[in-house]
Every structure is written in structure tokens, then in C-alpha cells.
Amino acid sequence: MSNKFEFINSLIMSAPRHRWRMCKTVALIFVVAVLMISVFQRGLVGTGGDLQIERNARMQKETITYWKEKQDKLAETRQEPVYERDLARTWDITSANCSASTNVSSIEGFSALEQNFKQFLLYRHCRYFPMIMNHPEKCSGDVHLLMVIKSIISQHDRREVIRQTWGKEQVVDGKKIKMLFLLGTSSNEEEKANHQKLLEYEDYIYGDILQWDFMDTFFNLTLKETHFLKWFSTYCGNVRYIFKGDDDVFVSVMNILEYLESSKNTKDLFAGDVLFKAKPIRKKQNKYYIPPALYNKTHYPPYAGGGGFLMDGPLARRLYLASETLELFPIDDVFLGMCLEVLQVTPIKHNAFKTFGLLKDKKSKLNNEPCFYKSMIVVHKLLPQALLDMWRLVHSDLVCTLKPGLLWEASKNLNQQL
């Protein structure tokens, strides 16, 4: 008991010195502890940092692998990259050697078909032919509008009048307008011998004829369409718009330019006299008759009358690639509608394109009304002399009181009255 007391006593007695020593010890321990903890923590942070970097690297690798695999998988599931492809720089078809198909008899009802359909089916697999006359230079530089006109060798007078009227090449407000005729060969040997030389001379003078080595028949018009699309895709990277039409139509180039200006923000421009839900014609006497063996759906996809329509250059290139995914169909404008359907592009119907109907009524006053023509983009159909006369009237000091839109309304009423 006393010892204990003594100890406490001594402790109290020696307090100042003893306390000082103790404080030093505690402080030392504290400093060492702090040092150790911070070193330990640094160590922790250090190893943590390495881990972090490692983890980042692993994640990066995994991410890269993930996206790569995903892309590979996408590439696998994606269809043919149909709408973008490297194309040849020149016409790459040099042989016209294409023999009749031997397996058409497997088509149901083939033997009962008319001769022209048999002919069509026998040669449907012959997709491309060599060129006889070519003019790649037509598309050099920036061309705003390329006008291409379907013609046949014997229609020389139509080409002559078009060159003098709406087909004249010009530059309007710095916009270059170019023109070409699209031809095949004659389907008749005698004509072939006599007219081919004349055609070559015509081309020598004007330099505006594209000719391919296939017979210019009604059912081969689709070949003209696909050959043009391929030709355009090969040579015409800098052409903004295309007008494609027949050689017996009236065209207002100024109205085309105005329409294009107003549609310059339209993507996939394709405009014309569009038929929605047209039915295949099943009457054999009709020029457009199509037997169910060739087309068995109730409606055609929307398509623009081939007499005259407008499309933009990039769309024409995609239409070429789309056309290659389809079997040829004997009616060219319907075939182009099928290509548009592949691309899921809906053609635009515009009232200034009159390729069907309106002027069937020969008594209609509009047939001779220049103010009507002045307000239109295309009117079907005018033969050379009438076209020349109308062109002169429209480009004289013609005063038209009605605005184009109103005139169109008036023309509808007029037609209903007649």
C-alpha cells in the first residue's frame, strides 16, 4: 500500500522531468505513426494507380474488341452494300455475245405467250451491250442539267427540231445545260445498212448521240434505261440534275430550272407525271398489255410517265445499282418505278408534267393554247412541225394573263367541259 503511495508520490514529485520525457516519447511515436501511415497510404495509392491503369487498358481493349466484333457482325448481316460501290471509269462492256436462254420453258405459261414476250424472256438475261457512239465529254466540268432524249435512228427530223428548240445547249445564270440522244441499233437489216451511216454523220456534225449495240424495240426501252443509268454512273459524277424524256414532247427548260431551284433542298428528287396504284393492263390488244406470267400483282409501284421526268444525279447513281438487283421488266417507266421502290423513294407528282392523258382530247383548246404550254414543264405529244410552231409562239411576245397555277386550274375545268 505504501509502495503504491510512494510510487504515485514520486510520480507527482518528479512530474516535470518525467512528463517531458513521456511527451517526447508520445510525440515521437505519433510522428513515426503519421509517417508510417502516409507511406503506407502512398504505397496503397501507388499500387492502386497501377491497377487503375491496368484496368483502363483492359477496358479499352475490350471496348475495341467489342466494337470490332459488332461491326463484323453488322457487316455480315448487312445486305450487299447496294447503294455505294466503286464503278468502272469507262464503258466496260466489249462483247455483245449473248445467246438465248435455254431454261425459259420453266416459266409457267411460256409457250402460250405472244411472240414479243417470248423474245423478251429469251434475252432478258442479256443485261449490257457495247457502245457504238459515246460522248463522255458531255459530262466534263460541272453540269447543272443533263437532258437525255430517247430516240430511234429513223426519227431524224424529231432530233433536228429538238436541237433547234428546247434541246439547245446553253448556259443560264452560269448553269451549264447539256443534251444527248439515246439510241440503240435498227431492228431491220435494210434500215441498219442505210441509216447507220447517216446516223454516224449526224453524230459527226452534232456530237450528241449515245448509241448502244442492242435492237431499238419497244420492249428494249428498259435496256435503254439501264444502259443510260450505267453510263451516267460511269461518266457523270458532276451532273446535278437529269431530265429524261421522249423525242415527241414539248419542254420548257426555263420552267425546269425554276422548279429545280425551288426543290434544291429536296433529297432524292424524282418528279414527273406520277401514277400511283396503276393496274397492269390485261387486254391483249393494248400496247402496254402485260400477261400475268410477267407480273402477277394487282398494282404497279408508283412510277412517272417516261415521256419526261426529272431526277437528281446522286439518285440516278443509286437507281443504277438498284436496277441491278431486279430482273428486267418490258415497260421502261414501270421498271424505273420498281427501282425507286427498292430504294424506298416515292416519286413526286407535279401538275406541270403532262405525259399522259390531257391532250388526248384532240378538240381541247389547250392543244393550241401557247399560254398553257408556257406554264408547263413537259407536254406530250407534239410532232416536229407542231413543236416548232408552238415553240415560236411561246417564245414570241406572248402575254399570258393567268398565272401558271391558275392556268392549270382553268385547264382542268376546260377539259371537263369539253
Which positions lie near ligand NAG, rule CB under 6 A? 97, 101, 103, 106, 119-120, 123, 214-215, 217, 219-220, 296
> How many beta carbons lie within 10 A of that of residue 397, not counting itself?
4
Instruction: For the CB of residue 354, give the shortest distance to ligand NAG in the complex, in Å.
Output: 29
Backbone angles phi, psi at 149, to 5 degrees: -125, 125
Instruction: For the CB of residue 229, give the shortest distance to ligand NAG in the complex, in Å.
Output: 17
Instruction: For the CB of residue 202, give the shortest distance to ligand NAG in the complex, in Å.
Output: 21
Nearest residue (CB) to ligand NAG, 97 versus 413? 97
Instruction: For the CB of residue 156, give the shortest distance to ligand NAG in the complex, in Å.
Output: 21
> Could you tell me the three cell numbers for 110?
411460256
Instruction: For the CB of residue 210, give the shortest distance to ligand NAG in the complex, in Å.
Output: 16
Nearest residue (CB) to ligand NAG, 301 versus 384? 301
> How many beta carbons lie within 10 A of that of residue 12, not counting itself?
9
Instruction: For the CB of residue 171, give the shortest distance to ligand NAG in the complex, in Å.
Output: 37
Neighbouring residues of 48: CB distance < 8 A, sequence distance ≥ 6: none
Nearest residue (CB) to ligand NAG, 217 versus 364? 217
Nearest residue (CB) to ligand NAG, 124 versus 176? 124
> Could you tell me the three cell numbers for 14?
518528479
Instruction: For the CB of residue 259, give the shortest distance to ligand NAG in the complex, in Å.
Output: 34
SS3 content of the chain, % helix, strand, coil (to 5): 50, 15, 35
Helix (H) or strand (E) run with residue 313 in it = helix 313-323
- Looking from the CA of 10 toward its CB, the CA atoms found within 13 Å total 5
> Could you tell me the three cell numbers for 125?
438475261
Neighbouring residues of 228: CB distance < 8 A, sequence distance ≥ 6: 148, 182, 210, 244
Amino acid identity of 164? Q
Residue 382: name the closest of 390, 372, 374 by CA.
Answer: 390
Nearest residue (CB) to ligand NAG, 103 versus 262? 103
Nearest residue (CB) to ligand NAG, 82 versus 107? 107
Please state, in angstroms and as integers, the Cα–Cα distance from residue 215 to each residue in 5, 150, 158, 336, following that order. 133, 13, 20, 20
What span, in angstroms and rounded, lies between the C-alpha atoms of 225 and 218? 12
Quick one: how far is CA 302 from the chain centroid?
Answer: 16
Instruction: For the CB of residue 327, give the shortest distance to ligand NAG in the complex, in Å.
Output: 9
Nearest residue (CB) to ligand NAG, 118 versus 175? 118
Nearest residue (CB) to ligand NAG, 215 versus 410? 215
> Could you tell me the three cell numbers for 411?
385547264
